[in-house]
Copies of this chain bind each other. A is one copy, B any other.
Amino acid sequence: MLRVSGMACQTMNLGSKIANIMIGFEHLKKLSHASPSKIVLLVIDGVGGLPHPQTGKTELESANKPNLDRVAKESICGLIDPVSPGITPGSAPGHLAIFGYDAIKYTVGRGIVAALGIDLELNPADIAARGNFCTIDDNGIITDRRAGRISTETNTELCQLLNEGIAISGAEIAVTPVKEHRFVLILRGEGLSPELADSDPQQVALAPKEVDALSAPAQRTAEIVNEFVSRAKGLLQDRAPANMVLLRGFSQHPDIPSMPEIYKLKPAAIAIYPMYRGLAKLVGMQLLPAGDNMTDQLKSLRQHYDHYDFFFIHFKTTDSRGEDGDFEAKVHAIEEVDAALADLINLDPDVLIVTGDHSTPATLAMHSWHPVPFMLRSKWCRSDSVTEFSERACLGGGLGRFAAVAIMPLAMANALKLDKFGA
């Protein structure tokens, strides 16, 4: 046996260096300047896909999408990796990356995102958790994690029941309804910690878990949460299918620099779903009315166009239909975006970006790690030879395959909002 004593390998900072170096916020803050030019970022959630086994064509390749293809012809195209090759992004890291944040460094708990999405007033120390009403059987085993998707009205009534019926020493507790079976739990008080494991086992046929403290200082918070769950169970016992609660994503508001601070932008979000509104608010966007569909969203864009210089528009249906595993419905959702896009093209923003926050191939019926088609159109984009907005076509684009965190510097550059770096 070789003895290595005396040559012990020290911990060294060998600092591996960087090929695709990404400039940091401290520099972007100095280089960016406000200007009247407009950037519009359209996120088609989960737009990337995989080939249909019968046709060999992906959802994008199967869709009739003249407007997307027209923009592709005038754009520089590529494929983005939102987090890192091989990593499947949740919605929060997927969007944070597109907004320019290193999604590995800047993490946002699910509870916080849910809370922000319904305009809850949070203090920095508040603990937020995402909650589901669920169904348990007589043995306490989960039979439906979503309580048969109860109506939002029932949800609201049940939240009121919990708020009125539960008081626990050491924390103020607020339960706020979201949509259907979803609610947000907020704990406010001295010395609380978000270092808690979920009670939601994320599958049926198991009992809800006790909430475990992940660190010693979180012990008291775990006790408070478990007391809440126990009291909720009692109050809900006759309210089947919503006869229990599941909690996950305990978190506090992250310390994250805002887009106005980094880029000197006045950014606005036109997103229908709470989570995306929450993410947008988190990075300092103003939330604008979004209505119920893309037509409403684009109407809102036109109404507010003069008052902001960056617009994030979020389209959800592609992801939902992908998660359903419904290939044809996802194709139709793409065609729905495409139809609405004509209006956006006519508005002719200085920079128009179309991409997704991750892929959601209908064949997989879930978010996936596959890089996502991307295109950026501007007067200065140096367009490439790509003529179609699809996974395969964008691979040959002028941006190649790149990290999503580079999108914002590219958007700023093309909007002529970045000064030269160095002498």
Contacts and interface: CB of A to CB of B under 8 A. Distances in A.
Contacts of A370: 382
A397 to B, nearest CB: 9
Interface stretch (A6-14, A168-176, A221-229, A305-313): A6-14
B422 A107 contact: yes
Interface in A366-415: 366-370, 380, 382-385, 391-392, 395-396, 398-403, 405-406, 408-414
Contact of A22 (B1, B2, B18, B26): B18
Interface stretch (A62-70, A87-95, A154-162, A179-187): A87-95
Interface in A46-79: 50-51
Contacts of A116: 2
Interface in A1-34: 1-4, 6-7, 9-10, 14-27, 31
A311 to B, nearest CB: 19
A253 interface: yes
Given A23-B83, A89-B420, A116-B2, A395 B384 contact: yes
A104 to B, nearest CB: 6
Contact of A81 (B20, B361, B380, B385): B20
Contacts of A2: 116, 119-122, 281
Interface in A85-127: 85-94, 102-104, 107-110, 113, 116, 119-124
A228 B129 CA distance: 62
Contact of A18 (B18, B91, B395, B396): B18
Contact of A399 (B23, B91, B368, B401): B401
A367 B416 CA distance: 12
A343 interface: no
Interface in A169-211: none
Contact of A24 (B88, B92, B93, B104): B104
Nearest to A13: B24
For chain A, the bracket of interface size reads: 35 or more
A320 interface: no
Contacts of A104: 21, 23-24, 27
A340 to B, nearest CB: 27
Nearest to A6: B124
A238 interface: no
Contacts of A418: 86-88, 369
A382 B51 contact: yes
A423 interface: yes
A364 interface: yes
A18 B85 contact: no
A348 interface: no
Contacts of A91: 422-423
A104 B27 CA distance: 9
Contacts of A122: 2
B410 A86 contact: yes
Contacts of A256: 9
A18 B88 CA distance: 18
A17 B31 CA distance: 16
B121 A17 contact: no
Given A19-B405, A87-B418, A90-B423, 5 more contacts: A7-B255, A22-B85, A50-B380, A92-B422, A130-B423
12 contacts: A2-B119, A2-B120, A2-B281, A3-B123, A9-B261, A14-B24, A16-B24, A17-B21, A17-B25, A20-B84, A249-B423, A382-B391
